[in-house]
Chain A
Amino acid sequence: MERIYLDNNATTIVDPAVRDAMDPFYCHMYGNPNSLHSYGIEVRPYLHQAMEQLYAGIGARDEDDIIINSCATEGNNTVILGFYFTLLKDTRKKHIVTTQLEHPCIRESCRFLEQHGVKVTYLAPNRDGMISAQMVKEAITDQTALVSVMWANNETGLIQPIKEISEICKERGVYLHTDAVQAIGKVKVDLTDVHVDYLTFSAHKFHGPKGIGGLYIRNGVSLPPLLHGGEQMGGRRAGTVDVAGMVAIGKAMELANQHLAYQNTEVRRLRDKLEDALLKIDDILVVGKRELRTPNTVYVSIRGVEGEALIWDLNQNGIAASTGSACASESLEASPILTAIGADKELAHTGVRLSLSRFTTEQEIDFTIYTINKAVSRLRKLSTSY
């Protein structure tokens, strides 16, 4: 069966150009970049090139740092836990402001710090699924050390007002971290325009490989390493650099930015086509205003159709999508975003996310529209509530 991949907010296919760029570092250029000999010498220029691509990709200045690490989860843990040691532990700054929308790696890191006396505010999104700068402003106190708000949400694709939030943080002298994992390659992430202190991303969300990520640290901002014991990354992240991975993330970043226009025209057009077709189904709800979302994401709630049952049916037809609702994962909790936007309690377990990429084709979208309609009508026939 031909398969259709519409779960690109979970992970993406590695772009063939990225794969080609990685290949030599597994075959003949396998040196350790810390070595003095020719094997080390020959790989270092490629790492410098990757750095150039990454710095250009997010608009970092030369005096800033971009630490190559394993993923955004590592980067997010480095920031949150690092803050405990630089500020929260020994000063009167004891407070972090974050949101209920964050990835578990932020939420659980914050929970961990709560056990060590740190106070954390988890902002609830408004009925549009958004965190406003005003909410952040009101949550900041004299004790606040750090604000952490994601750039774009994984479930809904909603783009949070990071620029406005950054202005509030700058004004109040509070550090700002943003998890940009869902933003890179979908919207312009340009730090010459937005003042953030820490920014995290993962290559596999923008057609790079899994297991490689980046952490941007603004010049002059301190942060202890999470991994100690080596001079790699200027001592900020010990461990032999994944050379192929680093080359790959550089290349993937460059390609992601080259395709931004395509994302905002063609991918957006396909997403809108899918969304418009779904909206023709009775009793269907799309979360978040279209113009506030990343161009590749649509999160729908279909009354009477349980989320996991729908993605089961889609999977039977070769279509990969995902659900944030109850039965999907090992956790039984309902999607918080549907609660936040004030949807009926009955809809809490109906959320399904479809996320496209620049590799998605029109044919695939047409087949998906047909299949979802078929699945919805089957499941509604079975359903107690429809």
Chain B
Amino acid sequence: MAKSDLIGGELWEQYSKKVADRMNNPLNFGELTEAEAKELGGKLVIANEGAESCGDTVRLFWIVDPKTHIIKKATFKSFGCGTAIAATDMMAEMCIGKTVDEAAKINNLDVEHALRDEEDVAAVPPQKMHCSVMAYEVIKRATSIYRNVDISTLEEADIVCECARVSLQTVEDAIRINDLTTVEEISDYTKAGAFCKSCIQPGGHEKREHYLVDILARVRGEIDRERNPDKALTTDFEKLSVVKQIKAIEAVLDEHIRPALARDGGGIELEDVQPGEDGIVNVHIQYQGSCKGCAGSVAGTLTFVEETLKKNLSEKIRGVVV
């Protein structure tokens, strides 16, 4: 929270003039037909994306020159809010004159950039970014149709959010491309997790294979490691699943703690991981070898173990000797 966040409610006044103009008078809406494609000597591609039950749908029409693969004509239809219509209109326009391969590289940020009035002012507020993601996804779909690549293997193999039909790849891409750090941002950009919320974290009304908290933690971890190869773990440890917490703790035990204890003939085993109040993670440990029963292990060694875990994983860790 900060001064600029306290009033809230802004939405339409944050749209660029281009967004408003294209909502009021979209330039590229309509349908293309086989007859028109034939006339232009091109191949008609019709791609659908989204579902009305999720709030917006878009249908993209292309006429593609089969020799050059250049998109000669592009139009759209859309069920959606103003930004969805404006973004789709801009996206269709951006396709025209490009080859299918070039068009496939257009992403939601390109569309959003093209809709800006000023270079450094976003065309739409963050919660409307998902509208341009839809425009980007429909291009991918149109591309796969044109190339005759089976869409089910391409797009829907790993669906994270069933409500919004968002794939694992889309979530990972959205996190990477936009440098997202929270689940709320993922929902703003991709719509994943915005509906029934089952895919956000375990415990929703439906069990899911992938959860956004885990994907976010993993991808953030990857991004952090790429940016800062020395620092292995800076992801939000508390948000990991217990299994992943255990793995992370074991890794630190192996790397930093067990070798130190082994020098004194001691050892340590992880017994349990228990969530405590206020996000505290209680790490239950049991000493082995010479550490067992050693008076120093209660105070000195425990401090060492706890501090090492804190430094590598999270400040929220508390060591508990079983």
Give CA–CA (A236, B39) in the complex, Å. 79
Closest to B55 in A: A326
Residue contact B57 to A385, C-beta cutoff 8 Å: yes
Q: How far is the CB of B246 from chain A (nearest CB, A)?
A: 27
Give the contact stretch, choosing among B187-195, B268-276, B297-305. B187-195
Residue contact A333 to B194, C-beta cutoff 8 Å: yes
Counting residue pairs across A and B whose Cβ atoms lie within 8 Å, the total is 88
Give the contact stretch, choosing among B72-80, B108-116, B148-156, B258-266. B72-80
Residue contact B77 to A383, C-beta cutoff 8 Å: yes
A282 within 8 A of B: no
Q: How far is the CB of B17 from chain A (nearest CB, A)?
A: 14
Closest to A382 in B: B29
A343-376 interface (Cβ within 8 A of B): 345-349
Instruction: Give the residue of B11, B48, B52 whose beta carbon is less than 8 angstroms from that of A349.
Output: B52
Interface range for B: 20 to 34
Instruction: Give the residue of A309, A331, A347, A381 whose beta carbon is less than 8 angstroms from that of B80.
Output: A309
| Binary contact track B179-209/A, C-beta < 8 Å → 1, others 0 | 0000000010001001100000000000000
Residue contact A332 to B55, C-beta cutoff 8 Å: yes
Residue contact A334 to B195, C-beta cutoff 8 Å: yes
Known contacts A309-B85, A333-B194, A327 near B29 by CB under 8 Å: no
> A residues within 8 A CB of B11?
329-330
> A residues within 8 A CB of B51?
345
Q: How far is the CB of B238 from chain A (nearest CB, A)?
A: 17
Residue contact B77 to A346, C-beta cutoff 8 Å: no
Give CA–CA (A348, B55) in the complex, Å. 7
> B residues within 8 A CB of A385?
52, 57, 79
Give CA–CA (A381, B78) in the complex, Å. 9
Q: How far is the CB of B65 from chain A (nearest CB, A)?
A: 25
A74 within 8 A of B: no
The B contact surface, by secondary structure, is mixed
Residue contact A345 to B12, C-beta cutoff 8 Å: no
| Binary contact track B54-76/A, C-beta < 8 Å → 1, others 0 | 11111100000000000000000
Residue contact A327 to B85, C-beta cutoff 8 Å: no
Instruction: Give the residue of B8, B85, B187, B191 whose beta carbon is less than 8 angstroms from that of A382.
Output: B85
Residue contact A349 to B77, C-beta cutoff 8 Å: no
Known contacts A332-B191, A333-B195, A306 near B56 by CB under 8 Å: yes
Give CA–CA (A308, B56) in the complex, Å. 11
B24 within 8 A of A: yes
Q: How far is the CB of A151 from chain B (nearest CB, A)?
A: 26
Give CA–CA (A346, B57) in the complex, Å. 10
Closest to B184 in A: A330
Q: How far is the CB of A298 from chain B (nearest CB, A)?
A: 21
Of A316, A329, A384, most buried by chain B (CB within 10 Å of CB) is A384
Closest to B80 in A: A306
Closest to A386 in B: B79
Residue contact A334 to B80, C-beta cutoff 8 Å: no
Residue contact B55 to A327, C-beta cutoff 8 Å: yes
> A residues within 8 A CB of B55?
306, 325-327, 332, 334, 348-349
> A residues within 8 A CB of B220?
none
Which of A's residues lie within 8 Å of B, judged by CB? 304-309, 312, 315-316, 325-334, 345-349, 381-386
Return 16 A-B CB contacts under 8 Å, by A number: A306-B56, A308-B82, A309-B80, A316-B24, A327-B56, A327-B80, A327-B83, A330-B11, A333-B195, A334-B195, A345-B52, A347-B52, A349-B55, A382-B78, A384-B57, A384-B59
Which of B's residues lie within 8 Å of A, judged by CB? 8, 11-12, 23-24, 26, 29, 48, 51-59, 77-85, 127-128, 130-131, 187, 191, 194-195
Q: A345-B52, A348-B53 are known contacts; what are 20 more A-B pairs with Cβ within 8 Å?
A: A306-B81, A308-B81, A309-B82, A309-B85, A315-B12, A316-B24, A327-B83, A330-B11, A332-B130, A332-B191, A332-B195, A334-B195, A346-B52, A348-B52, A349-B52, A349-B56, A382-B77, A383-B77, A383-B78, A383-B79
